[in-house]
Amino acid sequence: MEAHLTEWLNLGIRWIHMITGIAWIGASFYFVWLENNLNRSNPRDGLSGDLWAIHGGGIYHLEKYKLAPPQMPDNLHWFKWEAYATWLSGVALMLVVYYLNPSLYLVKPGVDLAPAMAIVIGFGSMLAGYVAYHLLCDSALGKRPALLGAVLFVLLIAAAFGFSLIFSGRAAYIHVGAIIGTIMVGNVFFTIMPAQRALVKAIEDNTTPDPTLPAKGLLRSRHNNYFTLPVLFIMISNHFPSTYGSQYNWLILAGIAILAVLVRHYFNTRHDSSKYVWTLPAAALGMICLAYVTAPVRSTPEAAPVAASTSQPAAIIAKAEEMPEATPGAAGANFTEVNKVIQQRCSVCHSAQPSSPMFSAAPLGFMLDTPQQIKTQAAKIHAQSVASQVMPLGNITQMTQEERDLIGAWIAQGAQLN
């Protein structure tokens, strides 16, 4: 029952995170588009520009003031709760997915790191990331946006590399995303909202607003806009083990982040000219190159099994140990040997009735009970257990390199059942 409740808790929080994230990112995209497409030729007095638009069967006329209207309207709509709800639900999701089972999902197999310390590092990195970003923006570097962006990129990829040494691939990626998300929500809470409140207060007090605060808020809003596509990739990356499961996962993340920023830059600047249109085919070519360089290469050296952590669920280890060890010969792999390995190492979770106490149903409906199911899922088995080796989770059932090679050889020979 505990596994069932955890799964539904995961679902509920993830759904909230997705809904609020769409609302936040959608607002960010819209207002940057609006700012870039204002008609600034001969605006009427007090305006910096206006825009006419049609959507949903209606025509809209939007105006932007240089600073503020002479008098505050009765109803002023604020955009902040989307950001706060997205960050809070994201942190809650990390608690449920990674911090409730840190030795399984968070800590990298074979790394001698106490789960509590791993959690401290995870939370601490989010706070440290925002503080470092804020100090850099307020330094002289903040007046050189291109250089600032390069420095931030290097620091984030350095964090990704550091995480990859101690965290699982999925956890490493998600913690980079958590740092970026914390920077984004920090921009809203500590810079954008105070600037907006100061602007409104100045109008209400009939004083001249300080133009530097809205300018700083606009700059941080643009930073958030460029962060969005890398964060979106990180949010879906757990479905793609060829990225986070690679030995060079931090470099893959760096490459995809660069491509995402290039695409975002084109959409942010296309109102001026088409001089950045080259970024779209460049991004497409970059993705093709990444797919090529991350193609799996079958490894042959044998390795000793990774020792199971004493904090791993005992029922899973016991289930794996109660079956006799397979004695595979990769050169002539046959299904009998492969099936023995899969039932011993994989089916404790991926079964119609998992013996693992962590799951009430097979994760993602991925079941390996029958020979036909195993053959049908051969490509996914190869991606998860042979190429990226991200499964079993935390290598909790102690799958050996020899067993991975056996499965890889069987799939390479056509995944025959006889």
Statement: residue 183 has pLDDT above 60: yes
Q: Which domain holds residue 20?
A: 2-71+78-255
The pLDDT of residue 5 is 84
Query: Using 50, 70 and 90 to split pLDDT, how confident is the model at 299?
Result: very low
Distance CA 292, CA 296 (A): 9
The pLDDT of residue 148 is 94
Query: Using 50, 70 and 90 to split pLDDT, how confident is the model at 259?
Result: very high
Statement: residue 307 has pLDDT above 60: no
Residue 220 shares a structural domain with residue 320: no
Statement: residue 403 has pLDDT above 60: yes
Domain boundary among 207, 227, 255: 255
Most confident among 309-323, 333-347, 391-405 (mean pLDDT): 333-347
Please, are residues 86 and 24 in contact by the beta-carbon 8 Å criterion?
Answer: yes
The distance from CA 259 to its chain's CA centroid, rounded to whole angstroms, is: 15
Mean pLDDT of the chain: 87
Statement: residue 102 has pLDDT above 80: yes
Domain boundary among 255, 279, 295: 255
Statement: residue 73 has pLDDT above 80: yes
Q: Is residue 196 part of a domain?
A: yes
55-59, 171-175, 244-248, 328-332: the lowest-pLDDT one = 328-332
The pLDDT of residue 359 is 73
Q: What are phi and psi for residue 414, nearest 5 degrees?
A: 110, 0
Query: Using 50, 70 and 90 to split pLDDT, how confident is the model at 83?
Result: very high
Q: Is residue 105 part of a domain?
A: yes
DSSP states of 347-372 as a string? TTTSSSS--STT-SS-GGG---SSHH
Distance CA 126, CA 182 (A): 6
The pLDDT of residue 347 is 87
Residues listed for the chain:
418
The pLDDT of residue 266 is 94
Q: Could you give the number of structural domains in the chain?
A: 2
Residue 38 shares a structural domain with residue 117: yes
% of the chain with per-residue pLDDT over 70: 90
% of the chain with per-residue pLDDT over 90: 59
The pLDDT of residue 297 is 61
171-175, 211-215, 274-278: the lowest-pLDDT one = 211-215
3-state SS class at 80: coil
Domain boundary among 225, 255, 285: 255
Q: Is residue 384 part of a domain?
A: yes
Q: Is residue 210 part of a domain?
A: yes
Residue 205 shares a structural domain with residue 337: no
**Residue range 233-242, pLDDT digits in tens:** 999 998 888 8
Q: Is residue 418 part of a domain?
A: no
118-132, 288-302, 315-329: the lowest-pLDDT one = 315-329
Question: From its phi and psi, is residue 364 left (phi > 0), alpha (psi between -120 and 50) or beta?
Answer: left
Residue 119 shares a structural domain with residue 189: yes
Query: Using 50, 70 and 90 to split pLDDT, how confident is the model at 298?
Result: low
Statement: residue 312 has pLDDT above 90: no
Q: Is residue 375 part of a domain?
A: yes
Distance CA 131, CA 123 (A): 13
Distance CA 399, CA 401 (A): 7
Return contacts of 85-89, CB within 8 angstroms, 24+ apart: 85/16, 85/20, 85/24, 86/17, 86/20, 86/21, 86/23, 86/24, 86/181, 86/185, 87/181, 87/182, 87/184, 87/185, 89/13, 89/16, 89/17, 89/20
Residue 50 shares a structural domain with residue 199: yes
Residue 128 shares a structural domain with residue 29: yes
Most confident among 88-97, 210-219, 237-246 (mean pLDDT): 88-97
Q: Is residue 273 part of a domain?
A: no
Query: Using 50, 70 and 90 to split pLDDT, how confident is the model at 310?
Result: very low
Statement: residue 318 has pLDDT above 60: no
Statement: residue 316 has pLDDT above 70: no
Statement: residue 33 has pLDDT above 70: yes
The pLDDT of residue 29 is 92
